[in-house]
Chains A and B, each alone.
Chain A
């Protein structure tokens, strides 16, 4: 431990620590635009500059290690003026578009301008004109709003291991680009949306489906059906000043009804359905000598990643559609028939913590006789905007329950929102499918938590089931290479594209940090602990669905409606 002096106050620090981390811990507010917790600082934005006694220039605190006896002024006139000038220069080449901007009132650049008291345009010049890229079904880019902080580039390469984008050009022509400046739709982007979550401005955003959904709601001839993913109910309360991680699925259902969705379903139901199919597929692969290790298929970013970077593993991917798509498929068949609704009159909306789900819904395989399983995907962010537009406060609402015939869910299905959750749910049901009995202890602790790769083995009858959970697609290539090079012991691998799982998905609120992620995970596990129905196979609505409609897992109907195929993708990589 060493001591440094900050604004006249003594503060303790660890030797070698970066100054910014020390300042933040001590509660000193320092603005930053390029810093990403956990990654090496680049010192690109210079917003974090401070004055240090005995040094001539200002130093960037994010990249400056502390030393004993150091005296720091964080808000000296010089430091504050320097920050203000930086922001003014950024604004000189920025469209004054706040009123129309998706990030209005939630923008780091806007906040900085406000906090630093920018009230006049001191620098004027010709602005760089750049084209928006709206080519992809999920991610839109507006380079004019980009301040070149580089965070998207770093997240994409260093966290996600994709590297779809990088700095391109030089000087005033510098911009963020895909390889060969092409549209995102032909790039190696997997649409995970993690870049959106770190972008300080409106330069990156999801392709919005709000208008299409509103139009459908306002069309009296259309039955608008909503499903919400397991992660949504433990997240959305945060936007309405509720405790992080609190489960608000009841209030959410009420809100969706008030917004005139005709039916509201919980995707956790179809997560249970996925487990019935995927668990059966796993057991069948193991007993019939199918391709192993089987790999999960519910995270669409991961699917695109395999299709383009590791096509030799396409045969390992479970053929199960994701819960979103399974729900979509049974809504337009079983539900439609049961209620006597023409499937072409149903507009099916999926509310997801994910941007890649927009891409998944648009895949041509995800349709039945040309009618898409899902008509529109809204991210958590889009849903929050819609709820606010309607002037609804989630806090004030009484809870309601999901509609029949998909009214019940197990908390195994709910765990799909967490890294390791699909695995845990699958293990619980695989045990039942193989032995006919329940596990003594349903918790599978070894697959929980934020580690990059989690491995464990579980005894199921005579079988020692060996499994691995990859938490974040950036950790996948290591394991895939091991398997490619001959590793044979694994039966089943779960991969979720985003670290922590869907609770940290690319469609989640912008200010999501590690504390939020932990709280949401805790919320899911608490729900499961307190629940009476903790396994997918004990969900009675699922039993009824098989009895009345599907027949049996992996049967003819399932095969047609609930399973899919994948194709190698030739993208610029």
Chain B
């Protein structure tokens, strides 16, 4: 039982099923993702089975069911980046990390999110890691950048 989820649910005494989406959003904001426990807790409150909540949540792209990695990579697949070759960057990221879009590495160090346009078309192709931008990328740059973050992990 998560206290944060309890607090969110407590604020909404008498909430009905129509409150599901805003509750899911708040819980994800607080916890970073929707865990099984949180979903079960929400289900208990709203008298909804987990299968139903999962069904509703997977209808929208915004919900995650696993925690993000410590380092959150966002790769832009917008038009400008696409034209400048973001497909090969994506491919390289997938190969180096061994994961696909919207997945997290087994060690929890990286997660990879594909975004439609990151709003930095002048820098295309671009990725951002934890909010820091890497511009005008070529796929050869990818291993070096990832290494940097891996090293930081080792130091810790």
In the complex, A320→B52 CA distance in Å? 35
What mask results when residues 152 to 196 of chain A are scored 1 for a CB within 8 Å of chain B, else 0? Answer: 000001000001111111100000011111000001100000000
- Whether A345 sits at the interface, judged by CB under 8 Å, is no
- Whether B98 sits at the interface, judged by CB under 8 Å, is no
- Whether A544 sits at the interface, judged by CB under 8 Å, is no
Q: Which of B36, B40, B49, B59 contacts A163 (CB 8 A)?
A: B49
- Residue pair A170, B59 in contact (C-beta under 8 Å): yes
Name the distance in Å between A175's Cβ and chain B's nearest Cβ: 9
- Residue pair B40, A166 in contact (C-beta under 8 Å): no
Q: Decide if the interface of chain B is mainly helix, strand, loop or mixed.
A: helix
Interface centre among B39, B55, B59 (most CB of A within 10 A): B55
Contacts of B53 in A (CB 8 A): 179
Q: Which of B39, B40, B58 contacts A168 (CB 8 A)?
A: B58
Name the distance in Å between A167's Cβ and chain B's nearest Cβ: 5
- Residue pair B49, A177 in contact (C-beta under 8 Å): no
- Whether B51 sits at the interface, judged by CB under 8 Å, is yes
Determine the interface band of chain A, counting residues with CB < 8 A from chain B: 10 to 19
Contacts of A170 in B (CB 8 A): 58-60
- Whether A573 sits at the interface, judged by CB under 8 Å, is yes
Look across to chain B and name the residue whose beta carbon is closest to the beta carbon of A175. Answer: B58
Look across to chain A and name the residue whose beta carbon is closest to the beta carbon of B54. Answer: A179
- Residue pair B59, A166 in contact (C-beta under 8 Å): no
Name the distance in Å between B21's Cβ and chain A's nearest Cβ: 14
- Whether B149 sits at the interface, judged by CB under 8 Å, is no
Contacts of A168 in B (CB 8 A): 54-55, 58-59
- Whether B139 sits at the interface, judged by CB under 8 Å, is no
Name the distance in Å between A133's Cβ and chain B's nearest Cβ: 14
In the complex, A352→B43 CA distance in Å? 35
- Residue pair A572, B55 in contact (C-beta under 8 Å): no
- Residue pair A166, B36 in contact (C-beta under 8 Å): no
Contacts of B54 in A (CB 8 A): 166, 168, 177, 179-181
Look across to chain A and name the residue whose beta carbon is closest to the beta carbon of B49. Answer: A163
Q: Decide if the interface of chain A is mainly helix, strand, loop or mixed.
A: mixed
Q: Which of A157, A169, A178 contacts B59 (CB 8 A)?
A: A169
Contacts of A187 in B (CB 8 A): 51
Determine the interface band of chain B, counting residues with CB < 8 A from chain A: 10 to 19
- Residue pair A179, B58 in contact (C-beta under 8 Å): no
- Residue pair B50, A177 in contact (C-beta under 8 Å): no
Look across to chain A and name the residue whose beta carbon is closest to the beta carbon of B43. Answer: A573
Contacts of B58 in A (CB 8 A): 168-170, 177
In the complex, A163→B50 CA distance in Å? 8
Give the number of residue pairs across the A-B interface with Cβ within 8 Å.
53
- Residue pair B50, A572 in contact (C-beta under 8 Å): yes
- Residue pair A166, B55 in contact (C-beta under 8 Å): yes
Name the distance in Å between A573's Cβ and chain B's nearest Cβ: 6
Contacts of A163 in B (CB 8 A): 49, 51-52
- Residue pair A572, B40 in contact (C-beta under 8 Å): yes
- Residue pair B36, A179 in contact (C-beta under 8 Å): yes
Contacts of A188 in B (CB 8 A): 49-51
B residues 117-150 near A (Cβ < 8 Å) are: none
Name the distance in Å between B100's Cβ and chain A's nearest Cβ: 14
Contacts of B36 in A (CB 8 A): 179-180, 572
Name the distance in Å between A283's Cβ and chain B's nearest Cβ: 39
In the complex, A488→B8 CA distance in Å? 37
- Residue pair A166, B52 in contact (C-beta under 8 Å): yes
In the complex, A179→B43 CA distance in Å? 11
Name the distance in Å between A182's Cβ and chain B's nearest Cβ: 9
- Residue pair A180, B59 in contact (C-beta under 8 Å): no
Interface centre among A157, A165, A168 (most CB of B within 10 A): A168
Name the distance in Å between B75's Cβ and chain A's nearest Cβ: 20
In the complex, A170→B57 CA distance in Å? 10
Look across to chain B and name the residue whose beta carbon is closest to the beta carbon of A162. Answer: B49
- Residue pair B40, A573 in contact (C-beta under 8 Å): yes
In the complex, A98→B84 CA distance in Å? 47
What mask results when residues 446 to 480 of chain A are scored 1 for a CB within 8 Å of chain B, else 0? Answer: 00000000000000000000000000000000000
Contacts of B52 in A (CB 8 A): 157, 163, 166
- Residue pair B51, A164 in contact (C-beta under 8 Å): yes
Q: A164-B51, A165-B51, A573-B50 are in contact. Are A179 and B39 (CB under 8 A)?
A: yes
For the A-B complex with A170-B58, A170-B59 known, give 7 more contacts whose Cβ atoms are closer than 8 Å. A166-B52, A177-B51, A177-B55, A179-B54, A180-B36, A180-B54, A572-B50
6 closest cross-chain pairs (CB), A and B:
A179-B50, A163-B49, A166-B55, A166-B51, A179-B51, A179-B54
Q: 16 A-B pairs, CB-CB below 8 angstroms?
A: A163-B51, A164-B51, A165-B51, A166-B52, A168-B55, A168-B59, A170-B58, A177-B54, A177-B58, A178-B51, A179-B51, A181-B54, A572-B40, A572-B51, A573-B40, A573-B43
